[in-house]
Amino acid sequence: MLRGGSQRPINVRVVTMDCELEFAVLPATTGKQLFDQVVKTIGLREVWYFGLQYIDSKGLVTWLKMNKKVTAQDVRKETPLQFKFRAKFFPEDVSDELIQEITQRLFFLQVKEAILTEEYYCPPETSVLLASYAVQAKYGDYNPDVHKPGFLGHERLLPSRVLEQHRLSRAQWEERITNWYAEHRGMLREDAILEYLKIAQDLEMYGVNYFEIKNKKGTRLWLGVDALGLNVYEFEDRLTPKIGFPWSEIRNISFNDKKFIIKPNDKKAPDFVFYVSRLRINKRILALCMGNHELYLRRRRSDTIEVQQMKAQAREEKALRHAERAHLAREKQARMDAERKRAELEKRVKEYEAEARRAMQALAQSEKTARDLEEKMKRVEAEAAERERLRLEAERLKRQAEESIAQMRSSQTASEEEKRMILARTREAEEKAKQLEAEAAKRERDAEDLQAALMAAKKQQVEDAKALVNATSTDKFHLMEANMNPDAMQHSQELGRPASDAGSSSSSSGVGAGVGVGVGAGVSGGTEVRRGVYTAGVQAGPTDLSAGDGKGGPSWEVGDRDAIAMKNDRIRQQLESLGAELDAAMDPEKVSAFDKLHRLNKSQGRNKFKTLQRIRAGNTRQRILDFESM
């Protein structure tokens, strides 16, 4: 115990689930003043769930009392004084009761830590599902281009027990987590945190504080204190409660030294009495019972103005976040569509450019062909002139031959030798004339063919020129230019705006009007007090506190509630499939006692809420007698 003999400030360090805070407090500072300073610093308003933990001089975890000075409590002497800011009480249903994002995040981190350190037992397949929500909460939507194999290599996502029990590599575990993670696409990080908690609250050990007790027979048992009431467990099985007492059945709680007495509303029933090994354990049990019972009543009354304001603000902020996310999604889709159109248009431009190049090449080839044909045509025309000259020469020779024949016929005196020479020259001239005529006819046909080819080449040249004009026409590019114009693309100025800007000042301002539960308020006088009493604010006789004043309160009862994961058939089937797969990969020699108990409960169709319904059946008297006989 610390004694503040002077007014010199004392250094205090408070560790929350995601940050460390340091304060300098006066020796007269009470637990509540320190607590209020912490919640004001972190912007928390749902203060009734939380408390400050410390390690006392005997090495035991203890909750700081709000109504006593910090220095007057049994805090281990060190500099600075060490405290942990943790959830002391848990809601019945996280989706209905946790309002602020910071509250949800603190619960998420604490529950996640409890699962990873195996304070809460979690089946292997459920561990994988929860890990996928934790990844969604940290990384956002799955992107295969960013979240490549190995990106979870340094993350702590599964309990060590699960990793050691199964013959699977880290890559195989990552693959199974990523398969589920990919299905959460589009889920907000805040929603992923809430989904994690909704599944985690269905775990049997979630939110339960266990204390070792004995009944009058001396049988070692466990007492579980949680948001719904008190449960009794066999010493070897902390998963399955055997007897339960809801808060609505409890009228008075007290202890005398190591004896703890619970008086039920049913006055015909005997007192529920058990024993603990240390007095301080009874004090802790009483403080937890008081706080949980107060919250139980609070849930069944109308919300205070402060809570109504917080819920309204939370709804507005959530609607704003969803609207901003929808806006961002539309912006993202618009950008993707614009990029897709740009890519398509760029592809079309490249196609048009290729088409234009081909048209230009074809036109150049056509022009070259036309030039070649024109040169050939010139040669043909020259040859035609030569043919005309040869034809005229042939005609001249023919006339000369005819004249020679005529002379020969008219001259009777010509010798035979001269006649033969004249005839030979005549035949030679005729043959040469025939050859010239045949060659002229052939060249005429070649000229006609060449003329036809030249006409076809000119026609092709005209068509290629038209194709080039068509390929390079501006009509094909006006749509592309309109779409690729930066002025035509919408850019929202709000795209880079943080989702938490709106309403951030109001969500972090102020602290709730006092702590909802006076921790340790029922025990006065410090460690010297060996008795404590807490009486529920109800009338004599059986009273159903679950009804309250008929206003507010949870919208479900234990008997009607199913596990969240079981409500979704697809998730249930996937869990069963993954469970069978992991069972096949489990090392039989490493199966834990909790694994065996979980399998037994599962094979008998039991879950947390069906078990609670069963153990609270019957009258209070019979359940107390059953407890005494354990």
Q: What is the pLDDT of residues 423-471, one digit of tens each?
A: 777 777 778 777 777 777 777 777 777 778 778 777 777 777 777 677 6
Query: Using an 8 Å Cβ cutoff, are 588 and 596 in contact?
Result: no
pLDDT at 561 over 80: no
Q: What is the DSSP letter of 514?
A: S
> 584, exposed or middle or buried, with CB in 10 Å at 0-12, 13-18, 19+?
exposed
SS3 readout for 577-619: HHHHHHHHHECHHHCCHHHHHHHHHHHCCCCHHHHHHHHCCCC
> 234, exposed or middle or buried, with CB in 10 Å at 0-12, 13-18, 19+?
middle
Q: Which CATH number fits domain 208-303+525-545+555-562+607-630: 2.30.29.30, 3.40.50.720, 3.40.50.1370, 2.40.10.120?
A: 2.30.29.30
Average pLDDT over residues 241-246: 93
- pLDDT (tens digit, 9 = 90+) per residue, 576-607? 888 888 888 898 888 899 999 999 988 888 88
Band of pLDDT at residue 3, cut at 50, 70 and 90: low
- pLDDT (tens digit, 9 = 90+) per residue, 294-342? 999 999 899 889 888 988 988 888 888 888 878 888 898 899 899 999 9
Average pLDDT over residues 143-167: 91
CATH fold of the domain at 309-488 = Helix Hairpins (1.10.287)
pLDDT for 6: 59
Residues 6+ apart with CB under 8 A from 47: 35, 39, 511, 512, 515, 516
pLDDT for 571: 79
pLDDT at 488 over 60: no
Q: What is the residue whose two structure tokens read 């016929």?
A: 409
pLDDT for 472: 64
Which residues sit opposite 250 in a β-bridge? 264
- pLDDT (tens digit, 9 = 90+) per residue, 12-23? 999 999 999 999
pLDDT for 2: 53
* CATH number for the segment(s) 10-88: 3.10.20.90
Q: Worst-scoring range by mean pLDDT, 119-133, 198-212, 513-527?
A: 513-527
Q: Worst-scoring range by mean pLDDT, 68-82, 197-211, 215-229, 441-455?
A: 441-455
pLDDT for 476: 52
Alpha-carbon distances, residue 527 vs 27, 366, 466, 590 (angstroms): 20, 110, 104, 44
Residue 518, CA atoms < 13 Å, CB-side half-sphere:
7
Percentage of the residues of the chain whose pLDDT score is greater than 70: 83
Q: What is the DSSP letter of 30?
A: B
Average pLDDT over residues 84-102: 93
* CATH number for the segment(s) 98-207+565-605: 1.20.80.10
pLDDT averaged over the chain? 81
The structural domains of the chain, with segments of one domain joined by +, span: 10-88, 98-207+565-605, 208-303+525-545+555-562+607-630, 309-488
The model's pTM is 0.70
Q: How many Cβ atoms sit within 10 Å of the Cβ of residue 531? A: 13
58, 63, 66, 70 alpha-carbon torsion, rounded to 10°: 40
End-to-end CA distance of the chain: 40
